[in-house]
Amino acid sequence: MTDATRRGTRNDTVQALKLLFLLVICYGHIFAEGPAATLPGSTLMDGLPMRLWWVPGDVGLFFFTATSGYFTALRYPGAAMMQGYWRRKVSRLCGLFLFLNAVLGCVFLATGREGVFTWDALVNLLGLNGFLNWFHLGNDSPFGAGQWFFTLLLLFYLVYPVMNRAVTTPARGRLLLWGCVALAAVMQVRLPYGHSLWSTSVGFVAGFWLARFGGSHPARSGWFALCACLAGAVAYRFIGHLPVLAYSVIGLAGYVCTVLALTVRLPLLPARVLDAVGDLMLPLYIIHTYFRLPLAQDPYLDALLVLTMNAGIAWVLLKAYALLAGRRRHAGPPTVAPRGAGMAGSGVPGPGTGGRAKPVASPALAAKAHHAANAETPSPQAPATHEPAVQAASGLTPAGQTASGQTASGQTPSGQTPSGQTLSVQALSGQTYSGQTPSGRSSPGQQSSPLPAGTKGEGTP
């Protein structure tokens, strides 16, 4: 696919916002693990801008999940349109994910890391690290830093076929959306985590609802959300730290960004930049917390240079995977598309169909499905997902991918310093983050404002 074709079949505003949000999240994680943030008496994480750095990061996580839910609902608009659903999702995510973890495994073995051959490693290689975080099981493996967002993405893909069959009317859509909002509020009070799990989860449902029942004027709901977001921010300013209110404001801001990106095409980044780095999102999300090298004395510049270094490593790994995948395709027997096969889930006829396509629920859904099927087609050179993050991507997540999903929450690792002179792999388990209290002091295991604290590896894309 040529660059011109890609630019004509994707939403550049969505892709640009995903990339910018992921860079914000990755920069925060890298800065939080830098030497200045771990020195005794350091106040860098307590003051501006880093004390509020996690607010746009968590907004980005909601944006990743909302766009993922939106484009998934458009690509597969009804139970009869689910052909190729699992094949596309698995091929889009799992190949590159396993390749990246295989490379990291080689690095762990070469550097003498322990825990590579444990059951925790198997859980992480299956993309289920989130369950280790959510059930406080710990992680004795060096894998899985911040991959709770990836687990959340897989859970949504697992649940989506049920939602697709059951939620078929606007009344059911409203019940699902507001039910999930209420449940997230209750769970935030009863089971808070060191990352924005509950508000991020609502993003999937909000994106699904927007695609299926948002109507022809979604900007109206965006304006309402913006007004509610501003009112909530003012209330938070006067009421003080209230996590439910903080995450409500974050969710509303994420919804506003989603509606803006889907309805207004803004040239946030040049198309050439998106062509060059758009597919880096999943690799960067997976690896950005593993490699550290002190590159500057100034902590802000050091974090920027380390982020650039990790982006370079991600680019090399992406090219290596594309080369490997290309060779495997050429080595196998030639495959012929079945006669009449069209674009999966889009209602677009293929060759030999006589111009007939499978019917969709309505002409409006057919148009939406056609748009979504062409909305963010990944590069043939890199089967990386745009769903996560943390890329989280075709609609990325991710993340949050978390983006390390270690913390979209602004947690700082305690007692961890980079390796000093050599490129090293950071230990990712058994390290705690300290949440920020409203007073600006670091308090281990408590929620920060607006993001709570948790264990390392519980963050975002």
CA 453 to chain centre: 19
SS3 annotation, the chain = CCHHHHHHCECHHHHHHHHHHHHHHHHHHHHHCCHHHHCCCCCCCCCCCHHHCHHHHHHHHHHHHHHHHHHHHHHCCCHHHCCCHHHHHHHHHHHHHHHHHHHHHHHHHHCCCCCCCCHHHHHHHCCCHHHHHHCCCCCCCCCCCCCHHHHHHHHHHHHHHHHHHHCCCHHHHHHHHHHHHHHHHHHHHHCCCCCCHHHHHHHHHHHHHHHHHCCCCHHHHHHHHHHHHHHHHHHHHHHCCCHHHHHHHHHHHHHHHHHHHHHCCCCCCCHHHHHHHHHHHHHHHHHCCCEECCCCCCHHHHHHHHHHHHHHHHHHHHHHHHHHHHHHHHHCCCCCCCCCCCECCCCECCCCCCCCCCCCCCHHHHHHHHHHHCCECCCCCCCCCCECCCCECCCCCCCCCCCCECCCCCCEECCCCCCCCCCEECCCCCCEEEEECCCCCEEECCECCCCECCECCCCEC
Residue 335 pLDDT more than 80?
Answer: no
Q: Which residue has 């593993």 as its token pair?
A: 290
- Determine phi and psi for 385, rounding to 5 degrees: -80, 150
Specify which of 90-94, 336-340, 371-375 reaches the highest per-range mean pLDDT. 90-94
Q: Give CA–CA dist 449/243, Å, rounded.
A: 7
| Mean pLDDT across 109-113 | 93
Residue 26 pLDDT more than 70?
Answer: yes
CA 301 to chain centre: 25
Residue 388 pLDDT more than 70?
Answer: no
60-74, 300-314, 422-436: which range is least confident on average?
422-436
Q: Give CA–CA dist 101/422, Å, rounded.
A: 21
- State the pLDDT at residue 411: 42
Entry pTM: 0.71
- Determine phi and psi for 248, rounding to 5 degrees: -65, -45
- Whole-Å CA distances, 45 to 60, 195, 299, 435: 20, 17, 11, 10
Predicted confidence band of residue 449 (pLDDT cuts 50, 70, 90): very low
- State the pLDDT at residue 362: 46
| pLDDT per position as a tens digit, 163-178 | 999 999 999 999 999 9
- State the pLDDT at residue 37: 65
Residue 373 pLDDT more than 80?
Answer: no
Q: Are 161 and 83 in contact (CB under 8 A)?
A: no
Residue 2 pLDDT more than 50?
Answer: no
Helices 197-213 & 243-263, crossing angle to 10 degrees?
40
| Mean pLDDT across 71-92 | 87
- State the pLDDT at residue 40: 63
State percent of the chain over pLDDT 70: 66
Which position has the higher pLDDT, 289 or 406? 289
Q: Indicate if the alpha-carbon torsion angle 128, 129, 135, 140 is positive or negative.
A: positive
Residue 344 pLDDT more than 50?
Answer: no
| pLDDT per position as a tens digit, 124-133 | 999 999 999 9
- State the pLDDT at residue 269: 87
| pLDDT per position as a tens digit, 264-277 | 888 888 888 888 77
